[in-house]
Amino acid sequence: MPKTMDEMLSALADGELDFADQPQVFAKIAQDPKAVHRLAYEQRLKHACAKTMSGPEMKCPNELAGKLLAMASDASSKTSPQAQPVQATQAPYAGLPVLARIGRWVPTAVAAVLLLAAGVLFSQTNPGGAGFNTQTASFLSSSQIQNFTGRHFDCAERPDRLKNPDQFGGHNFEQLPGKLGDYFKTDTNELALNLNGIGYDYQLTGTCSIPGSGAVHIIYHKQADPSQSISVWIVPAKPEQDKLEQGRVYTEVGDNLLRPVIFWRDAGLLYYVVGDSIQDCDKAVKQLRHAA
């Protein structure tokens, strides 16, 4: 069966790419920046999985463990006629060798679920203990999540694609809070929009059709690696979004599991964050909500 480019990039990140496939993959990396990003995601995900599974204090919830073990049993039965069924019960912690044994069949989705279950994707950001809420799958549709992540990549790669940047002061960050205040007709001078403290430089702001009318899109690039970026969208909250608890941070995870959408409601505005590094997104949310 022909392999997809995503499958071959994943194999390259795992050090398991077939020799015959290497010329095609290397040519793709040389010509397509998206392939470079994909490879970087796969490598970071592999590292995060290894780090998560090496922590003996972490335990997979029983219900999730049963589902994962059932998936393992199903995968084994398809590749080995002699494979025995696996009991869908909580397995004892087995350490890093588990990754080596299941690495060839576990899809990115399962790896991401493992990370979510272990609680390493995000830490709590609300001093009162509200933290991130990952149980909001019905708020954003899969297509909306895909639109966020796709727009993030496109505009992070080419910030000049943003519309009406002069309306927000162009590249002059000092003008941004006041310009946003004029645009949203609210006081935004206290917004903690400067991400220099977490290693990101401001690039540009412009109007955006994502997530809807009246939204603006802010782009930041990582100082140490400009290929990594963070996107922040701000849009007036709608009446139907009042069900979002004020001061609580939510996450939505779609098909692109490596770029969850983080969002919260504050003072009549809705904020969305997408980035290339999950850990840096966590830091960005803490910084952006500093004044909240």
Q: What is the pLDDT along the chain (292 residues), one digit of tens a residue?
A: 667 888 888 888 777 888 788 888 877 877 777 777 777 777 767 666 665 565 555 555 566 566 656 666 665 555 555 544 444 333 333 333 333 333 333 444 444 444 444 343 443 333 333 345 444 446 788 788 888 988 998 999 999 999 999 999 999 999 998 899 899 988 765 677 999 999 999 999 999 999 988 999 999 999 999 989 999 999 998 887 878 888 788 888 765 555 788 998 887 899 999 998 888 998 999 888 874 4
Domain assignment present for residue 64? The answer is no
Helix axes 33-53, 22-31, angle to 10 degrees: 110
Together in a domain, 137 and 265: yes
Together in a domain, 212 and 261: yes
Non-local (6+) Cβ contacts of 259 within 8 A are 148, 149, 152, 274, 275, 276
Site of tokens 């899969």: 142
pLDDT on residue 105: 37
Non-local (6+) Cβ contacts of 258 within 8 A are 41, 44, 45, 108, 112, 278
Together in a domain, 171 and 113: no
Counting Cβ atoms within 10 Å, is residue 105 exposed (0-12), middle (13-18) or buried (19+)?
A: middle
In this predicted model, what pLDDT tens digit does every residue of 82-96 receive, in sequence order? 544 444 333 333 333
pLDDT on residue 73: 62
Together in a domain, 234 and 171: yes
Domain assignment present for residue 164? The answer is yes
Domain assignment present for residue 88? The answer is no
pLDDT on residue 253: 74
Rounded CA-CA distance 46/10 in Å is 9
Rounded CA-CA distance 70/76 in Å is 10
Together in a domain, 184 and 282: yes
Which amino acid, one-letter code, is at 208?
C
Together in a domain, 20 and 148: no
pLDDT on residue 128: 32
Together in a domain, 211 and 245: yes
Domain assignment present for residue 268? The answer is yes
User: What is the number of domains present in the chain?
Assistant: 2
Give the structural domain span for 45: 5-58+93-118
Together in a domain, 145 and 98: no
Domain assignment present for residue 281? The answer is yes
Domain assignment present for residue 208? The answer is yes
Together in a domain, 213 and 241: yes
Domain assignment present for residue 193? The answer is yes
Together in a domain, 110 and 139: no
> What's the angle, vertex CA 32, arms to CA 27 and CA 34, rounded to 5?
130
